[in-house]
Copies of this chain bind each other. A is one copy, B any other.
């Protein structure tokens, strides 16, 4: 399943260190995308290159369901999309078909929360096209914490920031919905009394 666009030889899943001079075009792309605003922009390019050495390249066929909502077992990785599109879907109680929450493309980071906390996945992710991506497993993160603590501290700071951005976005949406339901309650109340 593992492919080898980061170097000629396959990367060990334990996140074995490699010589940066051996970085392939895909490793360069992964490092560039890692420091984009959609991923972990707080890292420098040289830090990103080091993080990429702990990542595994992977190609997923169109239609592959690689993260499944509610799955609490296979939660030990996050993914950086190098090429292709991912649909993020969720089940809603009132519908038989899942609804598409968003479509993610090149440069998107997926699954960073489960990488950290290992809890059940919040949505289903499907490869809408063939997908070229780079995976960081929890084992590789643990190895990075042992090998290179300053780098892992920088990475975890960047990951906390991303989770924080999502927390602020969801909190804003929640505040909006609280106000909306208050307004609707008044609407229902006024019709009942009318």
Partner of A167, one of B92, B113, B181, B185: B113
Interface residues of A in 135-178 (CB under 8 A from B): 145, 149-150, 152-154, 156-157, 159-161, 163-168, 170-171, 173-174, 177-178
Q: Which residue of B lies closest to A93 (CB)?
A: B179
Partner of A117, one of B116, B119, B164, B188: B164
Q: In the assembled complex, which residues on chain B have CB atoms less than 8 Å from the CB atom of A92?
A: 179
Residue contact A171 to B122, C-beta cutoff 8 Å: yes
Chain A interface, DSSP helix/strand/loop, else mixed: helix
CA of A94 to CA of B156, assembled, Å: 39
Per the CB 8 Å criterion, the residue count for chain A at the interface is 40
Most chain-B Cβ atoms within 10 A of its Cβ — which of A113, A157, A181, A191? Answer: A157
Instruction: State the A residues within 8 Å of B (CB).
Output: 92-94, 113, 116-117, 119, 122, 145, 149-150, 152-154, 156-157, 159-161, 163-168, 170-171, 173-174, 177-182, 184-185, 187-188, 191
